[in-house]
């Protein structure tokens, strides 16, 4: 007999600042998350057009277990295809990126044009009566683009992208250079041994405490805020970043200088549910594509960009800064990577995790937070809880 999916035996605490640890570690919950969230009514950013600037450029990636090809065809149009032959479902493309005007499945040599049309299939005369090539193009998920950022969804129930993004659009647009004309600098790719929800659960409270470099660089937290953009679990951060001054911590401080961006808007994060984040920090433009490989492992591709209008010097500065500051080896983020691993180990213990900093009430979920609050994560948790059908226990 099928168990009802509604509660999954999870005892979700009544207090809004507590999260049951078992949701980080249970394989059955991960499988349900794939259905309800990753294949459910959410938009998932999978690439930026800056990664496929030329006709014929493509990139492959995964959402959950689903393989995708994102390409710019010879007609100049960006499309997303399921990376599976329309015939028997064989994985069509194995490279992570490249340039092709056709995709050929090696199994039975079915050939697809870069707009997805089936243009070749050997021994077609012996196929089923009435077989038409036009009935077998590469399948495509629903796709929408915001300032060059390419989103897909696998559900018919997902609202249009504009509705999905709620009030995150201004912050996201700002990070994408407002016109979306970004140029790829490169990637840092890593697998973190953590549940995807622990990866996205990094908070405003930890930054000056975990990262000693903040203090060593004399970075004072400036004026800032974080806010939920509505009811879909997206969170935006905006804060000033004071310039590093009076510090002799670095022999080469050029790497932490502002050379194009406004320090008053020095740090911006747009975290879209479930796993994506766009950040602009100093002069860095960073898009983080994260995919849950299993209940215990999350693969993150940090993609970094310059803007097409940058001088060569500014683009080079952005590249140097990006390679030094963020990602799995960055001066102010390597420690985050370690915390992702450690928190996942710790989450196998019984009970609930607790959020404290910035929590004003344990019976409501706020929408507006101070820069160094950890309570800013709670609207996302509440959306997750509702998406999964977990009921809060009564107080």
Partner 1 sequence: MKKITAQDLHSIDELQTSYINALDSKNIPGWLETFAVVPDASYICTTAESVDRNLPLALILDDCHARLQDRVTYITKSWAGTFQDYRTRHFTQRVSAEAQADNTVKVRTNFTVIYTPEDTGSSEVLTAGVYEDVVSLANGSAKFISKKAVTDTSVLPRYLVYPL
Q: What share of the chain is helix, strand, coil (3-state, %, to 5)?
A: 25, 30, 45
Tell me whether residue 295 or residue 337 sits nearer to partner 1 (CB atom).
337
Six-digit token string for 276:
């994506």
Tell me whether residue 92 or residue 339 sits nearer to partner 1 (CB atom).
339
Six-digit token string for 304:
């970094």
CB–CB of 139/68 below 8 Å? no
Tell me whether residue 222 or residue 328 sits nearer to partner 1 (CB atom).
328
Among residues 341, 348, 360, 386, the one that binds partner 1 under rule CB under 8 A: 341
Closest CA to 121 of 135, 140, 139: 135
Tell me whether residue 190 or residue 367 sits nearer to partner 1 (CB atom).
190
CB 74 to partner 1: min, Å: 21
Among residues 161, 240, 250, 314, the one that binds partner 1 under rule CB under 8 A: 250
Cα–Cα distance for residue pair 76/324, rounded to 1 Å: 34
Among residues 188, 239, 275, 375, the one that binds partner 1 under rule CB under 8 A: 188
Candidate segments 167-175, 236-244, 275-283, 324-332, binder of partner 1 by CB under 8 A? 324-332
Q: Which residues within the stretch 106-165 sit at the binding site for partner 1 (CB under 8 A)? A: none
CB–CB of 207/237 below 8 Å? no
Binding of residue 334 to partner 1 (CB under 8 A): yes
Dihedral of CA 349/350/356/359: which sign? positive
Tell me whether residue 342 or residue 360 sits nearer to partner 1 (CB atom).
342
Tell me whether residue 168 or residue 322 sits nearer to partner 1 (CB atom).
322
Among residues 37, 184, 198, 343, the one that binds partner 1 under rule CB under 8 A: 184
Cα–Cα distance for residue pair 237/170, rounded to 1 Å: 12
Instruction: Residue 95: count other Cβ atoms within 10 Å of its Cβ.
Output: 11
Cα–Cα distance for residue pair 33/264, rounded to 1 Å: 38
Q: Which residues bind partner 1 (CB under 8 A)?
A: 96-97, 184-193, 210-213, 216, 249-252, 255, 299, 304, 316, 319-320, 322-324, 327-329, 331, 334-335, 337-339, 341-342, 345
């Amino acid at each position: 007999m099928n168990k009802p999916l509604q509660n999954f035996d999870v005892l979700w605490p009544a207090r809004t600042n507590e999260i049951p640890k078992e949701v980080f570690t249970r394989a059955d919950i991960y499988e349900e998350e794939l259905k309800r969230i990753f294949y459910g009514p959410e938009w998932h950013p999978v690439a930026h057009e800056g990664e496929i600037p030329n006709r014929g450029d493509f990139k492959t990636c995964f959402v959950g277990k689903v393989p995708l090809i994102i390409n710019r065809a010879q007609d100049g149009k960006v499309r997303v295809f399921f990376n599976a032959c329309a015939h028997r479902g064989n994985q069509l493309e194995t490279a992570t990126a490249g340039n092709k005007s056709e995709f050929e499945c090696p199994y039975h040599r079915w050939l697809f044009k870069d707009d997805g049309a089936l243009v070749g299939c050997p021994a077609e005369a012996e196929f089923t009566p009435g077989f038409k090539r036009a009935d077998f193009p590469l399948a495509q998920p629903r796709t929408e683009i915001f300032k060059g950022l390419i989103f897909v969804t696998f559900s018919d129930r997902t609202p249009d992208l504009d509705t999905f993004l709620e009030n995150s659009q201004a912050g996201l647009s700002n990070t994408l250079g407002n016109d979306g004309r970004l140029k790829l600098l490169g990637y840092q790719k890593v697998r973190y041994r953590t549940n995807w929800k622990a990866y996205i659960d990094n908070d405003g409270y930890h930054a000056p405490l975990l990262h000693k470099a903040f203090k060593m660089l004399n970075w004072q937290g400036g004026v800032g805020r974080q806010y939920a953009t509505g009811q879909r679990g997206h969170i935006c951060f905006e804060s000033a970043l004071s310039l590093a001054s009076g510090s002799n911590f670095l022999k080469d401080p050029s790497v932490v200088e502002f050379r194009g961006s406004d320090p008053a808007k020095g740090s911006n994060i747009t975290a879209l549910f479930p796993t994506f984040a766009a950040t602009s920090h100093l002069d860095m433009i960073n898009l983080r594509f994260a995919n849950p490989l299993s209940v215990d492992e999350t693969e993150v591709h940090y993609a970094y960009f310059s803007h097409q209008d940058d001088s060569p010097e500014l683009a080079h500065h952005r590249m140097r800064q990006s390679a030094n500051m963020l990602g799995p080896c960055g001066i102010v983020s390597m420690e985050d990577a370690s915390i992702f691993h450690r928190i996942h180990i710790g989450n196998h213990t019984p009970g609930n995790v607790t959020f404290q900093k910035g929590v004003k009430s344990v019976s409501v979920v706020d929408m507006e937070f101070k820069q160094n609050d950890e309570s800013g994560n709670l609207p996302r948790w509440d959306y997750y809880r509702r998406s999964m059908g977990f009921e809060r226990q009564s107080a």
